[in-house]
Amino acid sequence: VVNGISADALGSIAKRLIRRLGDSSFSRLLDEDEERQAINTLKINEADLNALVQFSAYVFEEAAYQTQEPDSFEAHLNESLGVLPKHASVMRNVWESEATAYIGRLREKHLLGSKILSDTTWTTHLCVATSDDDPASTKGPPRSKSDKKNTQATSVFNLHMNNDSEPPLAIEFSHQELYAFFQKLQDIQHGIDSLSS
């Protein structure tokens, strides 16, 4: 799609998009009128326009997170993503002129809009008895020793955010839930590592 439109039109739409990326005052990157205008001007369908918008947003976000220099950004577009040299040059020019403002908006958004984890505490609980374990109870047969091994351990994490006026967020995990959670954290860490390498 990127290579199928004129380089000048790509530059215009890329500049409009990067100026709206990271700006919370826009609920959409293009409003309905702008979408109609772009479809008519570029002579593409709505699916192609969505693909173009998503592609542009992705490459600009990736460049911001990697703080790519304009030359490196252009080379990545051309060599890794198959963008034609003229189109990659136009995207490079947009990145060079708009990167500082865009990265600043991302930093501002992160600092003002996000809760930042400042500390964690945790405890482990072991449930070793229930009301059914009452030896004075005459209901039902006594429990065997193997039943006593069916204790359940849980861990409670208290996540303290950067805003001290809020109480910590408490999350309770069983052993299986905690294991699954740590597996997901490892997947996230691998994703972050791949972006930073």
Give the pLDDT mean for 70-96.
Answer: 94
Query: Which tens digits make up the pLDDT trace of 57-72?
Result: 899 999 998 889 999 9
Helix (H) or strand (E) holding 180: helix 175-196
Q: Which of 46, 44, 41, 102 is nearest to 70 (CA)?
A: 102
| Beta-bridge partners for 120 | 159
Whether pLDDT at 140 is above 50: no
3-state DSSP assignment of residue 170: strand
The one-letter amino acid code at 152 reads Q
